[in-house]
Structure 1
């Protein structure tokens, strides 16, 4: 699963990974959380977006978490929760 628009790059702190793990752990066991910052262009001042990837122990249960988290508000931002392509994730391609 990928969570988009959850935080601004300046809001990333040492607690974020644990907070995401705890919240997503309410739905099922979390294997890992990856916080990924992606620059939206080659320019020095290009926008940076944050994607948070959550891998659950049972991929079949991911839809429950997506239903609960999609369009939910977090830190004044509306979260977008979506399924992420497992093959891309397994190959460390976090660009989609």
Structure 2
């Protein structure tokens, strides 16, 4: 069963299996996007699990997180105002 359109490799410089806008190109793109999305989802799940495990092992992390979230909810202190600076003048080169 010989289904190859190539009968001889003599003088061949390049042989492309996927042409532009072919099923093979689209399949490769879809598989690449799917693998990337799977990697992102797996990473997010792993990070969530690791963080949960860390909090269970180290309860002081929970206290620090609660303290930092309370600070974030507290009203912000007004920024101190800087004293006014005197206006700067440029020397006049004509005089």
Question: TM-score w.r.t. structure 1 length?
Answer: 0.20
Bigger radius of gyration, 1 or 2? Answer: 2
In terms of fraction of residues, the more helix-rich structure is 2
> Which structure would you say has the larger RCO, counting Cα contacts within 8 Å and 6 or more residues apart?
1
In terms of fraction of residues, the more strand-rich structure is 1
Question: TM-score w.r.t. structure 2 length?
Answer: 0.20
